[in-house]
Structure formats: structure tokens, C-alpha cells
Structure 1
């Protein structure tokens, strides 16, 4: 599991302060202790104590640097010491499993993509544990100080307990993945929904870096959202995914696999989009889509070229997504909205439809300055898992465990 019981008040303050100092060194290093004290708003004595513990644990190191405007002797600054600290980042996707060994700078050291069949001779949990064991054995010469395991995956997940309640495409029910892996390896295990982790990765490494309030929409085989509020992933200690895909937008619409009717996913997922275009092709013989196999790539290319059917279909998805986003804008008042989707290949068709609907239906005071942009990562891979580790260091939770040895 990735969370212990809540620490006491004093311990929580120490954890938070350590996380703040680590984050500032990461963002501004090399940074002097004096500047660190100012930015952290902590007393110099507190900074001295925290830094000493980090130096002794080899989590930070000292270096000489020239302060801006100074012509004297170089100052002594602090930078992170990340090279000898490793963790395993895992992404489970339908049909495959990606494992990446990274250091604390998030740099990838070695990566493997393995098949993850739906049916095996042993339960999925046992298969996953065996694959992790085998990965560590294959790369034991590269391993130094292992710190944690982070896993992202689709489905219904409780991040606090590390339980995977459902995993699309697999016979999974209430799988205690976090608990079992932690017991097997002795490492903290962090588990999160892949869309939520992608949202966090964009916040830490990508398109929304520095923004405090962000909505990220993912339009793919499923439709989901992640929300950054006040610089933090919303509900990150529980079920962080904002399940917009199963919000009903038409009570008389098509039945969704969740059992409801007219869910957003039934009209806005890439699968439903291709099904709709296939249906309409029979009555639109002038469409250029008749000249090639129908894929998301060919659909987007046709839309960019001005094909009426392709444009209308992608714009329809944009309007549906825009209506949902208008409600979310009224609730969260974000600085930025990110869209991650294969349909971004036709952003010049998709984005105006999304934007116009938001401006028509959201409060003008909230929507007037909205920045709509594509995600930096078209496919985050295990960067979502890397973001979980970075976030755990910044919060101080994982950092304190490393300081304690």
C-alpha cells in the first residue's frame, strides 16, 4: 500500500517541511541555505537541520556556484543527489506491461515492454509479482538503492489501499496489488489510475508545469479526466479519476457497458466515433474516407483536408466534450485545460468545437481567459508512474522513509 496511517501532528510538520525543502532544491538548485530559508519561509536553524539530514542520507550534495550579480568567491549551494537512488515505474495497459528503472531525477535507465495476456495459467496478481521479480534479477547489476515501486493502470482503483477493484480486459476483482508487492519487495508501492497519473506528469514535467488549477481531458478508447486543484491532484489518496466518461448526457442514448444509457463515452470515445463514421459513410458517398481504411489517423487527415463527414464527426465529439468541460469550468475555475487524445492530430477541428461550447455554456468570468492546449506527452508511458514518485518526494512522505533508511 502507498499510505500508512496519518502521522502525528509534529511528524506531519517535519514531513511537510522536508518535502518543501527537497522540492525547492529540485526546482532552484544550486540554491544557498539563505535563499532556501527565504523561499521555504523556515528559520535558518530548521533549514540547517533538514539539510544536514539530507546530506547524511546522500539525497542532496553541496556544490560551488556563482550567485547572480556577485563577483566574489563562489557560494556553496545545494543540488539533489539522484544518481544512486532507483525506483521501478510500471504501466499496465491492455495487452502489455511496461517496466522502467529510473533514478530520482526521473531519468530512464532501462525499459522493457512485455506482453500481458488476458488469460494465463496463473492469476494476474501472481504473474505481475513474478514479472517484477524477474526484472530485478535481470538488471541486478544496475540496481543501487531501490526506493519504491510506482504503478499506473486503467480501471477502478483505490490509491490509498493499493487495491485494484476492476481492470478492463482482465478477470480482476479487488486485487490487493499494492499490499502484495510491498510485502514481497519491502518497498513502498504507489498505485494510481493512468489518466490521473498522466495529469500529474503534465503538471510536474509537461504542458501544465507551474499551473495551480488544471483540468486534463483524455479522449481515447475511454474518456476520463484528472484535476489539479491548488497544485495538488484532486482526491489523489482515493479514486482520483474524475469519471466524466460515465456521466449521462442523453437518457435515451445508447446503452454503455457500465449499464447506464447515454454516457459521454458512448458518443465521445474514439471507438464510438469510428462506429458513427462507419454508419454515416453509407449515405455520404462523396467522402474521401471511402478511398482508404478507416482509422483515427485517416479520419484526422481527412478532417484537416476539409472532408465534411470527418469534420462533422470530430466537431461533434468536441461539442460533447465542451459541454462537460463547461460544467467543470464552473466548478473548478481552472487556469488551463489540457486535451490528450489521438484526435489532437486534427486539433484545428477539435479545439474550436470544444472552445466555442465552453464559452457558450460556462460562466464568462471563468471561461474568458481559459487556455486550451494539447498535452505535451502524446503517450506518457511510465512517466505517469515517475510523477507519482516525484509527488511523494515533494509531499515528504517518501522522503522521510528514505531519510529513516
Structure 2
């Protein structure tokens, strides 16, 4: 059922050429920039950039400012082109096994409003109802921001076909072949982009975070699962079957514990939160250990607990080295809720990565980015912004 409340505004991006979208994307992710610098970065002539910029300025998506440092100088002042973040708003929703998290961002993907809603039922109909309620609240909040909401992104774990907007398989939700984009569009009245949650987070890092301006990088997430988003030659890679970057199911110890995928010794079977809790339970004899209790036990020095985290760090480090050896990214960004335990396995991640990375792959810049769950919803909003700007994605 469509929620009552503010009506989303139908609006399309005022350019329809790849060159114009590239110019806008460059200013959005790397600006403010002078027009000549935009031309240099996108490989177009200054005249072509001026042609691309004009309708965007007229529509209010871009503005031009005089650079402060050029004001006192003699001659013609330099003008910088930047995106007006307040020109439009986008909603993003991250669906977890127990709640839905929603954010409202501006065009520069800065979070303006955040909401959480418990998810009592994981059936598609119940999840859609929760998404509709959350979006209704976000649309109501948008009234005070005086800008149209032009899209909704939804991030779900598992095998997601973004082009079709279908969740093929989500183990945490126990979904198969759910046409989520179509259903959510009908429910909310907004254009909807649905993507895998790790890829959505990768889009946010590529356009608005630690990957901005980089051609090749990876995002590795640690937590309930071990995920990986890949950017190769400036594009987020999904692969022919939509599962590119599944380092959680790279085998790092053939004699290791059995994974839910059926194999043994996968990174996720050793370093996922449930796997860590189970191994600590086995090592200590304490029953019903959860992720929070496992972390407390390790920090309190319970015999056997810290060793489990050390092994998890080694598995993650080997998984990251596999990515570095195969793709040679400039940077690997480690994120996810599992970073709460980073002090327990950081040195083991680094040691295993250095030992397993081949040659110059070991020079890859490995960074950590602890992010709250709102950032996963922000990633969903980033996919909606991307879809709005680039109709070919």
C-alpha cells in the first residue's frame, strides 16, 4: 500500500549525454574545480565542458563561485564550479535481518536525516511495509528541507541484480527472486535502485569517500559476513553473474571449519562474527556466546578467546592479499561493524597480508574506515544518486 504524505516530485537529470554526465560526476566527486581543470580530468575540450555545464547551471545543479584566493589578484578572477548539494534529496534504506535503517541525503550524499525501524518479520511483504513506513517518515522530513526527493536506493545483502532490481538470493532474509525495485517503486512512488549492500557502500566510497578520484580500489567489510566491493578502471564490478568480490568464500585453510556455503576454511567461516562466536564457545566451553560476548571475553583475556581473533585476522589478511594479487588496487578500505574488534586482529591482518601479497602488491594502501550502519544506508542513497545522474548504470 502506498503511504500517505508528501508526494515525490518526478524530475529527470537535465543532460542526456555521457560526456555531460561525466563532467557532472567529476565535479560532484572531486570538486569544486575550475572549468579548465574539469576539461583536463575528463579529457574534453574547454568548449565541450562549457557546453555541458551550461544546462546544469541553468537547472540549479551546478553553481559557479569566484575562488577566494583569486580575489585580490589582478586580472580575471578564477571561477570554480561546484554542485549545489541542496538542489535535490535522495533516500537510502539498508535492510538487515532485524531492522531497516533509512537516511535522507542531499545531492552530495551528506546525511540530513536518519531513521531506524525494527523489522519483526523478514517476509517480503512485511519488509516492503517497513520500507514504505520509513520512506514516508523521510519524505515528511524532506518538507522542511525545501528540496525534491528524486530517488530511493535500497541495499540488501546477498546476490542482487541491480539492472533488473531483483534480489536473487539473500541468505539473511531467506529471499529468492524478489523483484524488489518494482515492488518498492509501486509502494513508495519513487524511482528505486536496488543493489547489494557491499557494492552500495563501495559506490559511496567511490563517489564521496576514501575512494574518490581512484581508478582501482576495493572495499572489504567485516562483520556478520565478509564482503568485498571492487572498483576496476573506475567502475564498480558486479561480474557476469553478479557475485564478483566474494572474498568471504575464498578458501584460506582447506582443513578449516565448514562454511555455510558447503566448503571448508572460507574467510567467512573463520572470521565472520557467528564463526568467531562459535569458535570461542568451543575454545572456552561457555555456551551461547554471541558477537558482543565474544568481544568482551577476548578483551578480558579469557584463555583461548584472543587466539580466535588472531586467526580471524590472519584469514582476513590472506583474503585481502588475494584481492591485491589479482587486481593490484591502489587502496583497500576495511569497514563494517566487525571493526569494533579491530584492536584484537589488526596486527594479524597486516602480518598475513604482507606475507601473502606478491611483490609490489604489498605496497597497496590498506586503510580502516569504521562506519555506523547509517553509512550503509548512505551507500544505498549513493546508488540512487548514481542512477539519477548516469542513466547507463
TM-score normalized with structure 1 length = 0.79
Aligned residue runs from structure 1 range 345-364, under 5 A: 345-364=340-359
Matched with 1:371 is: 365
Partner deviation per Cα, 1:66-100 (whole Å, 9 max, x = no partner): 45496136444432223131111111111111122
Partner deviation per Cα, 1:49-80 (whole Å, 9 max, x = no partner): 21121122221123333454961364444322
CA distance in 2, matches of 1:278, 1:193: 31
Matched with 1:397 is: 390
Q: Alpha carbons of 1:236 and 1:374: their partners in 2 closer, same or farther (altered >3 Å)?
A: same
Matched with 2:306 is: 311
Which of 25, 35, 38 lines up with 1:36 in the alignment?
A: 38
**1:181 equivalenced with 2:176 (yes/no):** no
CA distance in 2, matches of 1:119, 1:366: 41
CA distance in 2, matches of 1:215, 1:26: 21
How far has the Cα of 1:334 moved from its partner? 2.0
Unaligned runs of 5+ in 1: 1-12, 284-289
Matched with 1:295 is: 293
How far has the Cα of 1:252 moved from its partner? 5.4
**1:229 equivalenced with 2:232 (yes/no):** yes
CA distance in 1, matches of 2:40, 2:305: 55
CA distance in 2, matches of 1:391, 1:349: 36
Question: Do 2:151 and 2:385's aligned partners in 1 also have CA atoms closer than 8 Å?
Answer: no
How far has the Cα of 1:382 moved from its partner? 1.6
Matched with 1:23 is: 25
Matched with 2:109 is: 106
Question: Do 1:273 and 1:313's aligned partners in 2 also have CA atoms closer than 8 Å?
Answer: yes
Question: Do 1:246 and 1:263's aligned partners in 2 also have CA atoms closer than 8 Å?
Answer: yes
Aligned residue runs from structure 1 range 219-368, under 5 A: 219-235=222-238, 239=242, 242-250=245-253, 253-282=256-285, 295-302=293-300, 309-367=304-362
How far has the Cα of 1:39 moved from its partner? 3.7
CA distance in 1, matches of 2:387, 2:239: 11
CA distance in 1, matches of 2:251, 2:34: 54
Matched residue SS, 2:178? coil
Deviates more, 1:101-110 or 1:22-31: 22-31
How far has the Cα of 1:150 moved from its partner? 0.8
Which of 44, 47, 52 lines up with 1:45 in the alignment?
A: 47
CA distance in 2, matches of 1:32, 1:211: 20
How far has the Cα of 1:129 moved from its partner? 5.8
- Which structure has the greater CA radius of gyration? 1
Aligned residue runs from structure 1 range 71-220, under 5 A: 71-72=73-74, 74-118=77-121, 123-124=125-126, 126-128=128-130, 130-131=132-133, 134-135=136-137, 138-139=140-141, 141-142=143-144, 144-183=147-186, 187-220=190-223
CA distance in 2, matches of 1:297, 1:257: 22
How far has the Cα of 1:116 moved from its partner? 1.5
Partner deviation per Cα, 1:269-309 (whole Å, 9 max, x = no partner): 121112211221249xxxxxx9xx97243145246xxx663
Q: Alpha carbons of 1:179 and 1:16: their partners in 2 closer, same or farther (altered >3 Å)?
A: same
Deviates more, 1:67-76 or 1:90-99: 67-76
Corresponding pairs, count: 373
Q: Alpha carbons of 1:157 and 1:124: their partners in 2 closer, same or farther (altered >3 Å)?
A: farther
Question: Do 2:157 and 2:172's aligned partners in 1 also have CA atoms closer than 8 Å?
Answer: no
Question: Do 1:36 and 1:47's aligned partners in 2 also have CA atoms closer than 8 Å?
Answer: yes
Matched residue SS, 2:85? coil
Q: CA RMSD in A?
A: 3.4
Q: Alpha carbons of 1:214 and 1:75: their partners in 2 closer, same or farther (altered >3 Å)?
A: closer
CA distance in 1, matches of 2:303, 2:134: 49
Matched residue SS, 1:295? helix
